[in-house]
Structure 1
């Protein structure tokens, strides 16, 4: 989930009764009620390891704060675990350092957010008075393709797309986005895109524009 960096320590989980000790390059974590058998552990490439969601929870305080969220988000995006399983693993760690931040992240993933930008939008932009209950990562079948809508207002048939600062700056990606938006238009879905810069630095303006667009798309409203 995270590239190994030079000098990274190896963290080893062991039953509380284990005689293993921390030594240079190795940190031993003794855990109560840890059994070296399923469902506590799994075997991967001949090694006995803790389950991924438990490893993500255990590693949370060992990473620099700026690097903690990425492995968790990637694990869910790659279908390697789920927000539900992460929540269960988190319940077993009531004294985890910065537990509240991980709990909030798991809740946002359960809401359907799939990137730091989507989490930002959820928390700062697309909630509050007048905003609908957006459905996130909604699968939409178009011919032989299935695409996923970032934030879908079903009643208004408006899809809000949050364009990151890297991928969507690529002209090839821009062409793909335009074709995708045109396909959605054929089934009556309006795509509205907001760039990373605007979402972060023009919060009030983005909110006003979104509310105005949604208002004109509601049934019975004549544009």
Structure 2
């Protein structure tokens, strides 16, 4: 048997497993999994080498190998066998605070942003819940940035690419008003447009390579664009590379198409 922490023993062949190390940390501290470790349990983030647990502020934080112990005033505890773990909303905000308190760790900042976007997108957290959690922590590092990100996801941005596209392309000088995630009913089902100028029936799709790089994905997009065209929509697609390297050119193309649609409407 191995003894990773005082009072805890594990089977040697399982000592390297993340789930075993996480449970050992909880047993050794009598705490709850929190921060990135809680996100791992909730299926939001990958397992990282360091295990995070939270304990009440009045207790002494033990020094344990590969374990970070946080002393907190409000100990949030949810049940997820075999661990006690903080709630999703608390884990997201805790991770955000840790990430933005360490500006030299951009990977952790990316993880924290992804956790906000993913949990809001799939409904595991509500925007108001994350704001409420941030409201009771006015000194939270990066708090203003978190509130802005929550608002942007509420407005319809569902990925980092969409967030970037909205900020740097769709909201450029002279751009029309866009509605994000606008639903359109087709024969094959309802689709959502990343951004749409409703009066002109101009749709802008922001294509991330991870979702649109395969031949199957491109064929699916083509079929959907044809179906939208049959309903009177003009669909403009911009790749990740194009959006991030030529935002001004993307804006010019959008404005040109919108101007042409305006002319068609006036000519009728």
Q: CA deviation at 1:187?
A: 1.6
Deviations 1:18-59 (A, max 9, x none): 445342222222222x25xxxx43222253322211101101
Find 1:43's aligned residue among 63, 67, 79.
79
Q: Write out aligned runs for 1:95-110 (5 A).
A: 95-110=139-154
Higher gyration radius (CA):
2
C-alpha distance in 1 between matches for 2:191 and 2:265: 29
The residue number in structure 2 matching 1:191 is 235
Matches within 5 A, 1:46-61: 46-61=82-97
Contact 1:135 1:153 in 2 (8 A): yes
Closer, same or farther: CA 22–94 of 1 in aligned 2, 3 Å: farther
Question: What residue is the counterpart of 1:31 in the other structure?
Answer: 72
Q: Which shifted more, 205-214 or 23-32?
A: 23-32
Query: Aligned to 2:222, what secondary structure does the other structure show?
Result: helix
Q: 1:149 aligns with which of 167, 181, 193?
A: 193
1:66-215 to structure 2, matched below 5 A, reads: 66=107, 67=110, 68-143=112-187, 145-215=189-259
Relative to its length, the structure with more helix (as a share) is 2
Partners of 1:89 and 1:22 lie apart in 2 by 28
Q: Secondary structure at the match of 2:254?
A: helix
Q: 2:47 matched to 1:4?
A: yes
Matching residue of 2:54 = 13
What are the Cα deviations for residues 113-170 of structure 1, in whole angstroms up to 9, with x where unaligned? 1111111111111114332231112222223512111111111111100111333221
* Off by >4 Å, runs of 4+ in structure 1: none
Contact 2:177 2:197 in 1 (8 A): yes
Q: What CA distance in whole angstroms lies between the structure 2 residues aligned with 1:16 and 1:166?
A: 43
Return the alpha-carbon distance in structure 1 between the equivalents of residues 216 and 83 of structure 2: 42
Cα pair distance change 1:43/1:156, threshold 3 Å: same
Q: Could you state the TM-score of these two structures normalised by the residue count of structure 1?
A: 0.86
Structure 2 length normalisation: TM-score? 0.73
In the alignment, the residues of structure 2 paired with residue 122 and residue 107 of structure 1 have an alpha-carbon distance, to the nearest angstrom, of: 13
* Contact 1:84 1:110 (8 Å CA) reproduced: no
Q: Within 2, Cα distance between the matches of 1:191 and 1:161?
A: 7
Query: Which structure 1 segments of 5+ residues have no match?
Result: none
Cα pair 1:42 1:50 within 8 Å, conserved: yes
SS at match of 2:192: strand
Partner of residue 220, structure 1: 265
User: Quick one: structure 1 residues 22 and 157, their matched pair in 2 at CA, closer, same or farther if it must change by over 3 Å?
Assistant: farther
